[in-house]
Amino acid sequence: MPAFNETSAVLHSTALYTSAAQALAAMLPTATSLSAVLHTGPRQDWVASAAGAVLCATFVGEQSADVVLHVAERELGGISERRTARVGTEDLLRPALEAATGVLGIGVLSLESGENAQGTLSAADTVGFMLRTQSGEDAGFFALRLRETAPVSGPAPSLEEPEDMASRLGRISNVEMALTVQIGRTRLSVRDVLNLEPGAVIELDRSAGAPADVLLNGRLIAQGEVVVMDQDYGVRITKILDMDSAGA
C-alpha cells in the first residue's frame, strides 16, 4: 500500500484534511483527548493491527468523500463496557464522523461495512492521520479520501430548448428520494439512552402545535402540519423553503 507523501495525488491542500481530522478528534467519546497527526509512513498494517471495529463511511454532498475510522477499544474506556444492541460502536462514533465530514459542507453521511476499508486506505489520494494520546501513544487512525466531481468537457453550456429540458426531467422523474417528517429533536447522554424503558417520555425541542420539518434526503425543504388520514399520519405543507433558507 502506498504511503502518503508530498507527491501523492491528493486533490486539495492538506488544510482541508487537517480541519476534518481535528473536528473528528474533538468529538471522539474517549476518556482522554486525542490529537490527529498527519501520517507519513506506510499504511498497510493499519487494518490488520486494528483491535476492534473499523468503521467506513461515505459522504455525498457538495464535496463527496470516503472515510475510515478506528479507535482502540481501550480508549473507549467504560463506554465500551456499556455498549448493547441499543447503543453500538457506530452510534458512539457517528457524531465524530459527522463533525469530520461537516467540514466538507452539506451532505448525507452513510456508514458502510468495515470490509471496504482496504480499498480506501490503498488509494494513492487518501490522506491519513494517526490518533494519538497526550503521551504520544497510538490510539487509532482516521483516513479521508475526497472524490472530485468529474469535470465537464466540451463547450460551455448554453440555454436549453424547452424540449431538451423536458427530456432530461423525464429521465429523472421516476427516481425515488427519501422524504422524512421531523416533529422535533433532542440530545441524550449514552447513560440516558441505556436507561430508557417502555413508558418513558422524551421531551423534544419543539412546542406543541409548532410546524414539523420536511426533509428531502436529510435536507430541510418545507414545513407543515401533522394530520391524520384514514388512521395514518400525514403532513399538510404550509411553507416551502427556498434553497438558501433550507441550507441555513
Is residue 87 within 8 Å of 46, Cβ to Cβ? Answer: no
The cell for 222 is: 418545507
- Spatial strand order of the sheet with 232-240 comes to 179-182, 212-216, 219-229, 232-240
pTM value? 0.59
Q: What are phi and psi of 48, to 5 degrees?
A: -65, -35
What's the grid cell of residue 230?
A: 384514514
Q: Give the chain's domains with CATH numbers.
A: 14-147 (3.40.1550), 177-247 (2.30.330.10)
| Cell numbers standing for residue 5 | 507523501
Per-residue tens of pLDDT for the chain, all 248 residues: 334 443 344 445 688 999 999 999 999 888 788 999 998 776 666 655 665 678 889 888 878 899 999 988 888 765 544 445 556 778 788 889 999 999 988 888 888 766 778 888 888 888 999 999 989 888 889 999 998 654 444 455 455 455 454 555 455 466 566 788 999 888 888 888 888 899 999 999 888 889 999 987 677 889 999 999 888 889 999 999 875 555 54
CA distance 50 to 141: 9
What are phi and psi for residue 200, nearest 5 degrees?
-70, 145
CA 203 distance to own-chain centroid: 25
